[in-house]
């Protein structure tokens, strides 16, 4: 083989390798996630820290105990309460008991739903069951009920921050499944609110 012909063959081979490398790089880029995408999607399913407990567990601080039994996502409560466009409802069923001498707070400022992006859910009056009272139980009593918040559609994690009195905070973190109920039947009697 002549030197010119050998040089020409090598040049074509380099061009082919170069084109193959470019096609491979573009294919891998199209199939994979960027670091920003991975961080973003992971942060949307991780509850904001710190976390004291998850649903099903009970936490007690300074005579106040709280249990979050379950949490879920819905687009509507009954037929009357529809989430706004681009929003859904998160609802949590919980129980609060008081072994202390002071009555704990349970209003919207005491039960705050924190979202992974640093915002908070908008407190909502209607729930899928009896709504938890805004004033906590007296000493020796226990109250149970539901709370709900309107949040951006696509929210799959949240942390419920319960602040029953100054200097006390209990944080429940939960990741929500991909299932979003289209309609969650409302059974609560809201006359007591």
pLDDT tens by residue, 158-170: 999 999 999 999 9
Check: CB of residue 44 under 8 Å from CB of residue 155.
yes
Indicate if the alpha-carbon torsion angle 22, 25, 30, 35 is positive or negative: negative
Give dist(CA 21, CA 114) in Å, integer.
45
Q: Is the pLDDT of residue 39 over 70?
A: no
Residue spans per domain, the chain = 3-31, 43-188
Give dist(CA 121, CA 158) in Å, integer.
9
Tokens of 23: 């096609």
Q: Which CATH number fits domain 43-188: 2.60.40.1240, 3.30.70.1450, 3.40.50.1980, 2.60.40.10?
A: 2.60.40.1240
Give dist(CA 39, CA 81) in Å, integer.
34
**3 — pLDDT class (breaks 50, 70, 90):** low
Q: Is the pLDDT of residue 182 over 70?
A: yes
Q: Is the pLDDT of residue 41 over 70?
A: no
User: Torsions phi, psi of 57, nearest 5?
Assistant: -105, 160
């Amino acid at each position: 083989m002549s030197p010119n012909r050998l040089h020409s063959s090598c040049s074509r081979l380099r061009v082919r390798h170069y084109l193959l490398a470019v096609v491979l790089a573009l294919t891998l880029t199209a199939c994979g996630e960027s670091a920003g995408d991975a961080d973003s999607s992971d942060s949307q399913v991780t509850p904001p820290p710190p976390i004291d407990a998850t649903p099903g567990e009970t936490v007690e601080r300074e005579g106040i105990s709280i249990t979050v039994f379950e949490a879920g996502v819905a687009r509507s409560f009954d037929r009357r309460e529809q989430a706004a466009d681009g929003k859904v409802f998160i609802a949590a069923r919980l129980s609060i008991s008081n072994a202390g001498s002071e009555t704990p707070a349970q209003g919207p400022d005491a039960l705050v739903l924190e979202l992974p992006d640093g915002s908070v859910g908008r407190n909502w009056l209607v729930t899928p069951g009896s709504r938890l009272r805004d004033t906590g139980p007296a000493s020796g009593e226990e109250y149970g009920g539901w709370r709900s918040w309107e949040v951006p559609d696509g929210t799959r994690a949240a942390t419920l921050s319960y602040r029953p009195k100054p200097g006390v905070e209990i944080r429940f973190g939960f990741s929500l499944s991909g299932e979003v109920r289209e309609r969650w039947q409302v059974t609560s009697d809201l006359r007591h609110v």
